[in-house]
Amino acid sequence: MAESWATSGVDLHLHLRPAPTGTGVRRGLTDAIREAVRGGRLTPGTRLPSSRSLAADLGIARNTVADAYADLVAEGWLTARQGSGTSVAERPVPRPSAGPTRHPRSPFPPVHDLIPGSPDLSFFPRAAWLRASRRALAAAPNDALGYSDPRGRVELRTALAGYLARARGVHTHPDRIVICSGFVHGLMLLGGVLHARGLTSLAVESYGLDAHWRLLERAGLRTVPLGLDELGTRTEELTGGGGGGEGELADVRAVLLTPAHQFPIGKSLHPDRRAAVVDWARRGDGLILEDDYDGEFRYDRQAVGALQGLDPDRVVYLGTASKSLAPGLRLGWLVLPPSLVGEVVAAKGRIDWSCGVFDQLTLAEFIDSGAYDRQVRAARLRYRRRRDALVAALAARAPQVHATGIAAGLHAVLQLPPGTEESVVRAAVRRRLAVHGLDLYRHPDSTAERTDALVVGYGTPADHGWAGALEELCATVSPAGF
């Protein structure tokens, strides 16, 4: 399955010039391999040559190759297993609204986990969920247990239509909601439908999730990153304004955004840009995919409503229970413009028809009984306290590092001194702290200014692990830490 090194076409000789000696060689080699993995030329699972043979090929010391490999293993780009050499890791990509957040295999298996993308799983309301489950199953008609509507159970779609209107300003009707198996499933369905409509590209943000871009590209949609500045994603580039890439973006008819809380940068989209992107969609028959992965978690003010409320005919709203409850539920929802419902339902019915009905009925009951609101309120308080503790600890112990972005969500971005991101990530690995550098989230074609930063998932640990994780994080980023 995996491509072999020999056929990957990656030529390290090119990358090594003009850095023929010492640490320069090690750095050049590390960069070259990292770029090859990031750019997809080296695919996950590809076996690398032994350090001995690569060193011989390149005419450099074997230790230099071994050191470069060790660096990349520590960073999570490669994996080393005894007896089977070194190979390209499954990408250690976290997901704000879908997918696993496992840390890559490493010689220093992590003890503390601050990888973003997961809520505190120990906070899942097991007892309340079971109670809702009992009520839901007792009330369910027999035919709920059969093959049912590919959109999902009407009880859940009805509960969500009410909840999303109230909590996120989403304007919809149960008939236009499709329950899916988490965000990725919904994005895959939309990607297929858009491709079938003739789209060949889709605009995305400069930073985001590699897994999402790859999914869209497998669906036949090239992803074209929009620029990024202090006001957030430069949506005006879609209309050819602001010096954006008129060439590639001129043909784009759809855009994937995280307007409430850009992932991972952590800003909300400026009101002018919200208006601009909706205006673009209206004028040019465009479609906005709104990934509202953590819109319920805003700490400093009332959350900004969903973009979908501005134009329900031009925005697909994608929501998930993965952050508010647990990823293991595998429940997400698409709120669709009327014109897309038929195609999405048909695409979904072809694949797996529907998600399990018991969890759907239970979530409907959970929402209707008010338990969902209570859980979100309690979680908001919990995560807000963690964010406050993080900011305070950094101010005290690592004043050169500060959290940017709005007070929201389950992750923060820590700006680092220029040029230090890689060494901080490596220092974290040695401290057995799993945390990601911002660079892991950068679109390969982005031209946005690079900054050195960490993406810290403060929502991930259980309460008993939070203090220790924060301690290790502060030690890592403190002036003496790396």
Q: Should residue 331 be labelled a site residue for its own copies when binding is judged by CB under 8 A?
A: yes
Binder to its own copies among 58, 128, 137, 391 (CB under 8 A)? 137
Site string for its own copies, 214-243 (x = CB under 8 A): -x--x-------------------------
Q: Binding to its own copies (CB under 8 A): which residues in 430-469?
A: 462
Nearer of residues 143 and 230 to its own copies, judged by Cβ: 143
Binder to its own copies among 5, 108, 299, 358 (CB under 8 A)? 358
Q: Should residue 51 be labelled a site residue for its own copies when binding is judged by CB under 8 A?
A: no
- In angstroms, give the least distance from the CB of 72 to its own copies: 22
Binder to its own copies among 114, 278, 357, 433 (CB under 8 A)? 357
Q: Should residue 326 be labelled a site residue for its own copies when binding is judged by CB under 8 A?
A: yes
Binder to its own copies among 9, 24, 39, 102 (CB under 8 A)? 102
Binder to its own copies among 72, 184, 269, 398 (CB under 8 A)? 184
- Reference 116, options 388, 466, 454, 468; nearest CA is 454
Q: Which stretch binds its own copies (CB under 8 A): 134-142, 239-247, 383-391, 473-481?
A: 134-142
Binder to its own copies among 46, 79, 172, 181 (CB under 8 A)? 181
Binder to its own copies among 106, 235, 239, 354 (CB under 8 A)? 354
Binder to its own copies among 27, 124, 393, 474 (CB under 8 A)? 124
CA separation for the pair 422, 24 (Å, rounded): 15
Positive or negative CA dihedral for 386, 184, 355, 90?
A: negative
Q: Which stretch binds its own copies (CB under 8 A): 79-87, 154-162, 293-301, 323-331?
A: 323-331
Pairing mode, strands 287-291 and 315-320: parallel
- In angstroms, give the least distance from the CB of 320 to its own copies: 12
Q: Should residue 329 be labelled a site residue for its own copies when binding is judged by CB under 8 A?
A: yes
Q: Should residue 378 be labelled a site residue for its own copies when binding is judged by CB under 8 A?
A: no
Instruction: List C-alpha distances in Å: 469 to 62, 103, 134, 380, 423.
Output: 36, 15, 37, 20, 18
Nearer of residues 68 and 114 to its own copies, judged by Cβ: 114
Q: Should residue 210 be labelled a site residue for its own copies when binding is judged by CB under 8 A?
A: no
Nearer of residues 329 and 453 to its own copies, judged by Cβ: 329
Q: Which stretch binds its own copies (CB under 8 A): 5-13, 24-32, 177-185, 443-451?
A: 177-185
Instruction: Evaluate whether 458 touches 387 at the Cβ level (below 8 Å).
Output: yes
- In angstroms, give the least distance from the CB of 290 to its own copies: 20
Q: Which stretch binds its own copies (CB under 8 A): 98-106, 365-373, 417-425, 427-435?
A: 98-106
Q: Should residue 356 be labelled a site residue for its own copies when binding is judged by CB under 8 A?
A: yes
| Cβ-based neighbours of 455, under 8 Å, separated by 6 or more | 94, 116, 264, 411, 412, 413, 435, 436, 437, 438, 440, 441
Q: Should residue 14 be labelled a site residue for its own copies when binding is judged by CB under 8 A?
A: no
Binding footprint of its own copies, residue count (CB under 8 A): 56
- In angstroms, give the least distance from the CB of 219 to its own copies: 10
Instruction: Evaluate whether 70 touches 108 at the Cβ level (below 8 Å).
Output: no
- In angstroms, give the least distance from the CB of 136 to its own copies: 10
Instruction: Evaluate whether 251 touches 201 at the Cβ level (below 8 Å).
Output: yes
Q: Binding to its own copies (CB under 8 A): which residues in 103-122?
A: 117-118, 121-122
Q: Should residue 342 be labelled a site residue for its own copies when binding is judged by CB under 8 A?
A: yes
- In angstroms, give the least distance from the CB of 294 to its own copies: 15
Q: How many beta carbons lie within 10 A of that of residue 269, not counting itself?
A: 24
Using CB under 8 A, list all residues that contact its own copies: 1, 95, 98-102, 117-118, 121-122, 124, 126, 129-130, 133-134, 137-138, 142-148, 150, 180-182, 184-185, 188, 215, 218, 326-331, 342-343, 346, 349-359, 462
